[in-house]
Amino acid sequence: MSDLQLGLLGIGVLVVVAVVIYNKLQDAQLKRHAGEVFGAHLDDVLMGRKDDRSGPGRSADLVDRIEPTLSAIPADHGEARGTLDPRIDYIATLETDKTVAGEAISTAIVDNQANSTRAVVWECYNQQRASWEPLVAAGEYDMLRVGLQLADRRGAASQQELTDFTAMVLVVAQAIGARSTPAEPDGALQRAQQLDALCADVDVQIGLNLITRGSPVPGTRIRALAEAQGLVLERDGKFHRRDDSGLELFTLCNLETAAFSAEGMKELATKGLTLLFDVARVPGGIATFDRFVEYTRALAEALSAGIVDDNRQPLDDAALAKIRAQLQTLYASMEQQGIPAGSPLALRLFS
């Protein structure tokens, strides 16, 4: 081998070593930066430990709007609430003169509850615990309640749905010898329309795309970077970041057609990634969004990628600040209506 060949070989080895070292440094920088973003602050927001926590949305193209206002619903603080809440449910109560076996109640429900396209929840009152709880076949109860969810991402409940629900409740009540007290249907329709307006106003999904400036990113590196920060590849072909209670904080998916899979990551290479943030369903409000953006920036730096919108237009600091300002208005609207982002009510309403 000539001196020239040896020299070229040596240079090649140095280049490869330099690239490996650079990638290691970039990965370490991402881990360190993301640790600052998602590590030190996990206690208060991202891990969902705040005590005050009680179909896909639109993209980040937000506009000025008139905020809807829900009718006031008196809160009942005398007993544990259970799942149902008059702010989003049309609730009927059933009472009996003597206790009825849970199994008999379950049979009456199965026999008479028609398939509904909306969520219908049954709860029984536990006298010993002074709380509402799910129906248990082995239990005995003299008070039940059932609720029809008044709105979700598909729209508001209709008059016909309320009528069918009321009829079903009456039949079940007769089957178990109970008296039924439905809520006021006119008020329920108004609340359904108000909830639908709130959904239309605040149901936003933020998508930040990363486009590489050089060669495609290997799937193995994407997986390594994702798993290093606690993201888990799930069956839907996306990496999910969740808090300790299982609530989704954001997802990472392929901008190109192919979905991620455990085996496919070994062969996959892509020029683009998308990080998705479901505004109404993520706890923590604007602080969590800020950390989502910080993480996106750190990942973009590690992959030598640019941050762009769905039209491949760059999203600079000014554009992200504008989105943030608009989100603050949406979060304030949700708080005002007593349905903060990521709360149990929000998770049910935005489903």
pLDDT tens, residue order, the chain (351 aa)? 665 555 545 555 554 445 555 555 555 555 454 444 444 333 333 333 333 333 444 444 443 333 444 444 444 433 456 899 999 999 999 999 999 999 999 999 999 887 778 899 999 998 888 999 999 999 999 999 999 999 999 999 999 999 999 999 999 999 999 999 988 777 899 999 999 999 999 999 999 999 999 899 999 999 999 999 899 999 999 999 999 999 999 999 999 999 999 999 999 999 999 999 999 999 999 999 999 999 999 999 999 999 999 999 999 999 999 999 999 999 999 999 899 999 999 999 999
- Which stretches within 57-184 are classed as H helix? 102-112, 159-176
Q: What is the per-residue pLDDT for 66?
A: 35
> Which residues, listed in sequence order, are joined to residue 145 by a DSSP beta bridge?
93, 123
Question: Which tokens in the block code for residue 105?
Answer: 């109640």
Spell out the CATH class of 89-200.
alpha beta
For residues 107 and 184, the answer to whether their CB atoms sit within 8 Å is no
Q: What is the per-residue pLDDT for 28?
A: 53
- How many of the other CB atoms lie within 10 Å of CB of 232? 11
How is the chain split into domains, by residue range?
29-62+204-349, 89-200
For residues 152 and 110, the answer to whether their CB atoms sit within 8 Å is no
> Which residues, listed in sequence order, are joined to residue 149 by a DSSP beta bridge?
89
Instruction: Count, in order, helices (H) and strands (E) of the chain.
Output: 8, 15
CATH level 3 topology of 29-62+204-349: Cell Division Protein Zipa; Chain: A, (3.30.1400)
Q: What is the per-residue pLDDT for 116?
A: 74
User: How far is 344 from 351, CA to CA, in rounded Å?
Assistant: 11
Using alpha carbons, select from 44, 55, 51, 42 the residue that is nearest to residue 242.
42
For residues 350 and 152, the answer to whether their CB atoms sit within 8 Å is yes
Q: What is the per-residue pLDDT for 183?
A: 80
> Which residues, listed in sequence order, are joined to residue 254 by a DSSP beta bridge?
273
Query: Within 13 Å and on the Cβ side, how many CA atoms surround 292?
Result: 32
Say yes or no: do domains 29-62+204-349 and 89-200 share a fold: yes
Cα angle 218, 219, 222 (rounded to 5 degrees) comes to 95
